[in-house]
Amino acid sequence: MNPITVPAEPSAFPLIPGQTALIVIDMQRDFLLPGGFGERLGNDVGQLLKVVPPLAALIAAARDAGILVIHTREGHLPDLSDCPPAKLNRGAPSRRIGDPGKYGRILIRGEYGHDIVDELSPVNGEVVIDKPGKGAFYATDLQDVLTAAGVTQLLVTGVTTEVCVHTNTREANDRGYECLVVSDCVGSYFPEFQR
Ligand code: C5J
Protein backbone atom coordinates (compact mmCIF):
# COMPACT_ATOMS: atom_id res chain seq x y z
CA MET A 1 0.00 0.00 0.00
CA ASN A 2 1.33 3.48 -0.87
CA PRO A 3 2.30 5.63 2.10
CA ILE A 4 0.19 8.65 3.01
CA THR A 5 2.31 11.66 3.84
CA VAL A 6 1.23 13.07 7.21
CA PRO A 7 2.50 16.53 8.13
CA ALA A 8 4.59 16.14 11.28
CA GLU A 9 7.58 17.46 13.16
CA PRO A 10 10.50 17.27 12.74
CA SER A 11 9.59 15.83 9.32
CA ALA A 12 6.61 14.45 7.42
CA PHE A 13 5.53 10.94 8.44
CA PRO A 14 5.02 8.34 5.68
CA LEU A 15 2.02 6.46 7.09
CA ILE A 16 1.50 2.99 5.62
CA PRO A 17 -2.15 2.14 6.39
CA GLY A 18 -1.78 -1.64 6.33
CA GLN A 19 1.18 -1.56 8.69
CA THR A 20 -0.04 0.96 11.23
CA ALA A 21 -1.69 0.55 14.62
CA LEU A 22 -3.25 3.23 16.78
CA ILE A 23 -2.17 2.74 20.38
CA VAL A 24 -4.33 4.39 23.04
CA ILE A 25 -2.44 4.54 26.31
CA ASP A 26 -4.06 4.37 29.74
CA MET A 27 -7.24 6.43 29.16
CA GLN A 28 -8.46 5.01 32.47
CA ARG A 29 -11.01 6.39 34.91
CA ASP A 30 -8.43 6.36 37.71
CA PHE A 31 -6.35 8.89 35.80
CA LEU A 32 -9.12 10.95 34.22
CA LEU A 33 -12.23 11.15 36.38
CA PRO A 34 -12.90 13.76 39.06
CA GLY A 35 -12.34 12.27 42.51
CA GLY A 36 -10.15 9.49 41.14
CA PHE A 37 -6.53 8.61 41.79
CA GLY A 38 -5.09 11.32 39.56
CA GLU A 39 -7.13 14.09 41.13
CA ARG A 40 -6.51 12.78 44.67
CA LEU A 41 -2.81 13.26 43.99
CA GLY A 42 -3.60 16.93 43.47
CA ASN A 43 -3.66 16.90 39.69
CA ASP A 44 -5.96 18.84 37.34
CA VAL A 45 -7.87 16.12 35.50
CA GLY A 46 -9.32 18.74 33.15
CA GLN A 47 -5.97 18.70 31.39
CA LEU A 48 -6.51 15.04 30.53
CA LEU A 49 -10.26 15.19 29.88
CA LYS A 50 -9.75 17.63 27.00
CA VAL A 51 -7.96 14.85 25.12
CA VAL A 52 -11.12 12.70 25.05
CA PRO A 53 -13.07 14.38 22.18
CA PRO A 54 -10.20 14.52 19.64
CA LEU A 55 -9.08 11.03 20.61
CA ALA A 56 -12.61 9.65 20.25
CA ALA A 57 -12.68 11.14 16.73
CA LEU A 58 -9.28 9.65 15.88
CA ILE A 59 -10.29 6.21 17.17
CA ALA A 60 -13.48 6.37 15.09
CA ALA A 61 -11.48 7.34 11.99
CA ALA A 62 -8.99 4.53 12.60
CA ARG A 63 -11.80 2.00 12.96
CA ASP A 64 -13.40 3.25 9.73
CA ALA A 65 -10.05 2.97 7.93
CA GLY A 66 -9.46 -0.55 9.21
CA ILE A 67 -6.46 0.51 11.30
CA LEU A 68 -5.77 -1.77 14.26
CA VAL A 69 -6.70 -0.04 17.54
CA ILE A 70 -4.86 -1.20 20.67
CA HIS A 71 -5.71 0.04 24.15
CA THR A 72 -3.48 -0.21 27.20
CA ARG A 73 -4.30 -0.07 30.90
CA GLU A 74 -1.82 0.42 33.70
CA GLY A 75 -2.66 -1.68 36.73
CA HIS A 76 -1.95 -4.60 38.99
CA LEU A 77 -3.26 -7.90 40.22
CA PRO A 78 -5.47 -7.70 43.33
CA ASP A 79 -2.72 -9.29 45.47
CA LEU A 80 -0.21 -6.74 44.12
CA SER A 81 2.26 -9.52 43.39
CA ASP A 82 3.15 -7.79 40.10
CA CYS A 83 3.80 -4.41 41.70
CA PRO A 84 7.42 -3.85 42.72
CA PRO A 85 7.94 -2.24 46.15
CA ALA A 86 9.65 0.72 44.50
CA LYS A 87 6.36 1.53 42.76
CA LEU A 88 4.03 0.54 45.60
CA ASN A 89 5.82 2.57 48.25
CA ARG A 90 5.68 5.81 46.36
CA GLY A 91 2.89 8.23 47.12
CA ALA A 92 1.25 9.45 50.28
CA PRO A 93 -0.40 6.91 52.59
CA SER A 94 -3.99 6.12 51.46
CA ARG A 95 -3.15 7.28 47.93
CA ARG A 96 -1.17 4.25 46.95
CA ILE A 97 -1.85 1.56 44.38
CA GLY A 98 -4.30 -0.92 45.88
CA ASP A 99 -5.79 1.51 48.39
CA PRO A 100 -9.56 2.09 48.31
CA GLY A 101 -10.54 5.01 46.11
CA LYS A 102 -13.70 6.60 44.77
CA TYR A 103 -13.77 4.14 41.86
CA GLY A 104 -12.59 1.02 43.69
CA ARG A 105 -9.09 -0.07 44.64
CA ILE A 106 -6.63 2.23 42.90
CA LEU A 107 -5.14 0.82 39.67
CA ILE A 108 -6.26 -2.73 40.40
CA ARG A 109 -7.39 -4.90 37.51
CA GLY A 110 -11.12 -5.54 37.50
CA GLU A 111 -11.96 -2.38 39.47
CA TYR A 112 -14.21 0.26 37.89
CA GLY A 113 -11.48 2.91 38.06
CA HIS A 114 -8.96 0.71 36.30
CA ASP A 115 -11.07 0.50 33.18
CA ILE A 116 -11.15 2.86 30.22
CA VAL A 117 -13.48 5.89 30.21
CA ASP A 118 -16.87 5.22 28.61
CA GLU A 119 -16.28 7.56 25.64
CA LEU A 120 -13.26 5.52 24.49
CA SER A 121 -14.40 2.00 25.33
CA PRO A 122 -12.82 -0.74 23.23
CA VAL A 123 -15.24 -2.39 20.77
CA ASN A 124 -15.57 -5.73 19.02
CA GLY A 125 -12.67 -7.60 20.51
CA GLU A 126 -10.13 -4.77 20.18
CA VAL A 127 -6.86 -5.66 21.88
CA VAL A 128 -6.47 -4.41 25.44
CA ILE A 129 -2.98 -4.72 26.90
CA ASP A 130 -2.85 -4.84 30.68
CA LYS A 131 0.56 -3.66 31.79
CA PRO A 132 2.11 -3.49 35.24
CA GLY A 133 4.62 -0.84 34.22
CA LYS A 134 4.69 2.45 32.39
CA GLY A 135 5.82 0.79 29.17
CA ALA A 136 3.45 -1.52 27.30
CA PHE A 137 6.18 -3.87 26.08
CA TYR A 138 7.31 -4.90 29.57
CA ALA A 139 5.61 -8.10 30.86
CA THR A 140 2.94 -8.09 28.12
CA ASP A 141 2.37 -9.72 24.73
CA LEU A 142 2.23 -6.41 22.82
CA GLN A 143 5.25 -7.23 20.68
CA ASP A 144 3.67 -10.55 19.61
CA VAL A 145 0.36 -8.83 18.82
CA LEU A 146 2.10 -6.25 16.61
CA THR A 147 4.25 -8.83 14.86
CA ALA A 148 1.26 -11.07 14.15
CA ALA A 149 -0.63 -8.11 12.66
CA GLY A 150 2.32 -7.02 10.50
CA VAL A 151 2.49 -3.64 12.23
CA THR A 152 5.64 -1.53 11.76
CA GLN A 153 4.27 1.90 12.67
CA LEU A 154 2.45 3.25 15.69
CA LEU A 155 0.23 6.28 16.11
CA VAL A 156 0.76 7.03 19.78
CA THR A 157 -1.99 8.62 21.89
CA GLY A 158 -3.22 8.68 25.48
CA VAL A 159 -1.95 9.76 28.87
CA THR A 160 0.21 10.96 30.36
CA THR A 161 2.45 12.64 27.85
CA GLU A 162 5.64 12.75 29.88
CA VAL A 163 5.21 9.37 31.58
CA CYS A 164 3.53 6.45 29.80
CA VAL A 165 3.26 8.07 26.36
CA HIS A 166 6.92 8.99 26.51
CA THR A 167 7.99 5.57 27.81
CA ASN A 168 5.99 3.71 25.18
CA THR A 169 7.28 5.83 22.34
CA ARG A 170 10.87 5.25 23.36
CA GLU A 171 10.30 1.54 23.94
CA ALA A 172 8.68 1.20 20.52
CA ASN A 173 11.45 3.17 18.84
CA ASP A 174 14.08 0.92 20.36
CA ARG A 175 12.21 -2.06 18.92
CA GLY A 176 12.24 -0.58 15.43
CA TYR A 177 8.72 0.83 15.19
CA GLU A 178 8.19 4.16 13.50
CA CYS A 179 6.18 6.32 15.87
CA LEU A 180 3.98 9.34 15.34
CA VAL A 181 2.79 11.02 18.54
CA VAL A 182 -0.54 12.77 17.90
CA SER A 183 -0.12 15.98 19.86
CA ASP A 184 -3.78 16.83 20.52
CA CYS A 185 -4.51 13.22 21.48
CA VAL A 186 -1.98 13.03 24.31
CA GLY A 187 -2.38 14.75 27.64
CA SER A 188 -0.45 15.76 30.73
CA TYR A 189 -1.69 17.11 34.06
CA PHE A 190 1.01 19.76 33.63
CA PRO A 191 0.72 22.22 30.71
CA GLU A 192 4.46 22.86 30.76
CA PHE A 193 5.19 19.15 30.24
CA GLN A 194 2.56 18.94 27.51
CA ARG A 195 4.21 21.88 25.72
C1 C5J B 1 1.32 7.41 35.28
C2 C5J B 1 0.61 7.05 33.02
N3 C5J B 1 1.54 8.71 35.10
N4 C5J B 1 -0.27 6.38 32.31
N5 C5J B 1 0.78 6.66 34.31
O6 C5J B 1 1.59 6.90 36.35
O7 C5J B 1 1.22 7.98 32.54
User: How far apart are the CA of 192 and the centre of ligand 1, in A?
Assistant: 16
Q: Could you list the beta-strand ranges (E) of 61-166.
A: 68-74, 100-101, 104-105, 127-131, 153-159
pLDDT value, residue 93:
75
User: How far apart are the CA of 159 and the centre of ligand 1, in A?
Assistant: 6
pLDDT value, residue 124:
87
Pocket test for ligand 1, best of 37, 44, 159 (most atoms within 8 A of CB): 159
Q: What is the mean pLDDT of each run of 10 residues along the chain (195 residues)?
A: 93 95 98 96 97 98 96 98 93 85 97 98 96 98 98 98 98 98 98 97
Active site residue 30: no
Q: Whole-structure pTM over 0.85, yes or no?
A: yes
CA distance 187 to 161: 5
Q: Cα–Cα distances in Å, from 66 out to 60, 105, 111?
A: 10, 35, 30
CA distance 187 to 31: 11
User: How far apart are the CA of 50 and the centre of ligand 1, in A?
Assistant: 17
Active site residue 26: yes
Output the residue whose Cα is nearest ligand 1's atom 4: 164
Active site residue 131: yes
CA distance 97 to 108: 7
Report CA dihedral (51, 71, 165, 181) to the nearest 10 degrees: -70
- Give residue ranges with CB within 6 A of ligand 1: 26, 74, 159-160, 163-164
Return the biggest CA–CA distance within the chain. Answer: 54
pLDDT value, residue 1:
75
Q: Are 177 and 152 contacting, i.e. CB atoms less than 8 angstroms apart? A: yes
Name the nearest CA neighbour of 135 among 161, 156, 107, 163.
Answer: 163
